[in-house]
C-alpha cells in the first residue's frame, strides 16, 4: 500500500576504479581486493546536528545519517502532525568492534582483564556496536516517535524492513515509513564475510540509502521489485541502495533532491547536514 515519496542513495562514485582495501590487523595480509569507499574519514563524512552523537556512531551509522538526514523537511509535515505516525525500518548489522583493544588483550590474565579493558575502551565504544543506535539516533534527529524496527539478516534485512513498512502503512500504524540501510567496510570481519559471499568479480562498496514510503492504496511485493545485482555489492544495504538508485532517477536527480532538501531545510537541522549528504550523493 505504498509509494516511494522520496529516496536518496549515498554511494562512492561509480566511475572510480575499485581499489583493494587493506586491513593491517593480522600477521598475514588481509584485504578486500576490489572495494569502493568514500575517501572521507569518519569525522568528515557528515555534519551532525549534534556533533557529540558521532561518538556513538560507527561509519555505517554515519552513512545512515548522510542518507537519512536530508529527508528532514520532506517528512517534517508528517512529524509535525503526529510524530508517532512516522516509523523507521532499518537494516543494519553490528557496528565496528575495537580490534586494537582485542589484540592487546589476547594474553591478559583474568585478574587484569577489567582494569585493562577499562583503560583501552571508551564506554561509547559499546554504543557504536549496537545496531539499534544509528536508527535511534536518526529518530532523535528527525523527531520521529513511531516504531523503530531494526533488522539484521545479512542478506534479507532490507526486504524485512520493506515488508514491515509496507505492512504498517497498510494497517495504518504509520503514515510515513522511513526505510533505510547502511553498510561500511569499517569492520574487517563483516567486510570480508560480505565480500566472500559474492563472486570475486564484484566490487564491495560502502553505501547507504533511505526511502520514504507513504500509503498509496496499492500493495507492493518488494521481493519482486528488487533489482538484479550489478557489479557492485553493498552488503546488507544492497537491496535498498539498488532500489533507491533504480527507476527513472539517475544520480543527478538524487543529488538534486538532496540539494533541495538542503536549501529548503528550516526544520531544526543545520543546513550543513543535508549539504554534506548531498555532496556525498553527487559522487
Partner 1 sequence: MHEVVVTGYGIVSALGVGVPEFCRRMFAGDSGISGIRGALVASNFPVAVAALVPRTGLGQPRSLKNSDAGDTPTSWRFAGLATEEAMASLPSEVMVDAIVYATSDGVNFDLLKDSFRNFVVDTFDWDSTRSETCLEFIRSILEQNGNGHVPDESVISINNACVSSNQAIGIAFHRIRSGQWTRAVVGGVDARCNDHNLMNFHLLGALSTAEGSDASSPFSKNRSGFVRGEGAATLILETRQAAEARGAPVLGYVVGYSATSDAYRLTQGRTDVMGAAKAISLALEDAGCAPEQLSAISAHGTSTLINDSLETAAIKKMFGLRAYEIPVVSLKSQLGHSTVAAGAMEAVASLLMLREQKLAPTINYTHPDPDCDLDYVPNVSRPAFLNLVLSNNFGFGGQNSCVVFKRADA
Q: In this structure, is the dihedral angle defined by the CA atoms of residues 256, 59, 211 and 199, taken in order, positive or negative?
A: positive
Q: Segment 132-171, which members bind partner 1 (CB under 8 A)?
A: 132-133, 135-137, 139-140, 142-157, 159-160, 163-164, 167, 171
With respect to partner 1, which residue has the nearer C-beta, 93 or 206? Answer: 93
Give CA–CA dist 67/192, Å, rounded: 24
Residues 165-224 that bind partner 1 (CB under 8 A): 167, 171, 187, 189-190, 192-193, 196, 223
Residue 1-40 contact track with partner 1, rule CB under 8 A, x = bound: ------------------------xx-x-x----------
Read off the C-alpha cell for 5. Answer: 515519496
Segment interacting with partner 1, rule: CB under 8 A, options 1-9, 99-107, 227-235, 258-266 = 99-107
What is residue 206's three-state secondary structure? coil
Nearer to partner 1, 43 or 100 (CB): 100
Radius of gyration of the CA atoms of the chain, in A: 19
Partners of 212 in the beta sheet? 6, 178
Name which of 101 and 251 has its Cβ closer to partner 1: 101
Classify burial at 169, counting beta carbons within 10 Å of its beta carbon; exposed 0-12, middle 13-18, buried 19 or more: buried
Query: Quick one: residue 125, left, alpha or beta (phi over 0 = left, psi -120 to 50 = alpha)?
Result: alpha
Residue 87 and residue 55: Cα distance in Å, rounded?
24
The contact set with partner 1 (CB under 8 A) reads 25-26, 28, 30, 56, 83-84, 87-88, 93-94, 97, 99, 102-103, 105-106, 110-111, 113-114, 117-118, 121-123, 125-127, 130-133, 135-137, 139-140, 142-157, 159-160, 163-164, 167, 171, 187, 189-190, 192-193, 196, 223
Amino acid at each position: 500500500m505504498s509509494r516511494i515519496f522520496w529516496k536518496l542513495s549515498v554511494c562512492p562514485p561509480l566511475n572510480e576504479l575499485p581499489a583493494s582495501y587493506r586491513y593491517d590487523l593480522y600477521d598475514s595480509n588481509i584485504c578486500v581486493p576490489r572495494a569502493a569507499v568514500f575517501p572521507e574519514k569518519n569525522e568528515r563524512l557528515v555534519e551532525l546536528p549534534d556533533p557529540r552523537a558521532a561518538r556513538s556512531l560507527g561509519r555505517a551509522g554515519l552513512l545512515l545519517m548522510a542518507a537519512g538526514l536530508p529527508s528532514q523537511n520532506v517528512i517534517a509535515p508528517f512529524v509535525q502532525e503526529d510524530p508517532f505516525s512516522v516509523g523507521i525500518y532499518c537494516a543494519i548489522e553490528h557496528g565496528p568492534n575495537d580490534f586494537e583493544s582485542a589484540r592487546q588483550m589476547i594474553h591478559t590474565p583474568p585478574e587484569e582483564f577489567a582494569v585493562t579493558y577499562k583503560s583501552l575502551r571508551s564506554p561509547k565504544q559499546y554504543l557504536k556496536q549496537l545496531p539499534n543506535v544509528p536508527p535511534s539516533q536518526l529518530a532523535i534527529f528527525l523527531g520521529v516517535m513511531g516504531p523503530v524496527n531494526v533488522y539484521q539478516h545479512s542478506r534479507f534485512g532490507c526486504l524485512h524492513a520493506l515488508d514491515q513498512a509496507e505492512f504498517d502503512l497498510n494497517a495504518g500504524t504509520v503514515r510515513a515509513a522511513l526505510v533505510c540501510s547502511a553498510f561500511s567496510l569499517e569492520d574487517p570481519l563483516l567486510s570480508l564475510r560480505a565480500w566472500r559471499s559474492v563472486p570475486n568479480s564484484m566490487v564491495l562498496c560502502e553505501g547507504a540509502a533511505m526511502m520514504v514510503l507513504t500509503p498509496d492504496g496499492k500493495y507492493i511485493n518488494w521481493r519482486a521489485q528488487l533489482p538484479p545485482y550489478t557489479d557492485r555489492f553493498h552488503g546488507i544495504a544492497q537491496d535498498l541502495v539498488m532500489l533507491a538508485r533504480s527507476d527513472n532517477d539517475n544520480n543527478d536527480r538524487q543529488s538534486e533532491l538532496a540539494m533541495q532538501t538542503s536549501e529548503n531545510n528550516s526544520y531544526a537541522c543545520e543546513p550543513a547536514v543535508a549539504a554534506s549528504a548531498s555532496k556525498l550523493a553527487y559522487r
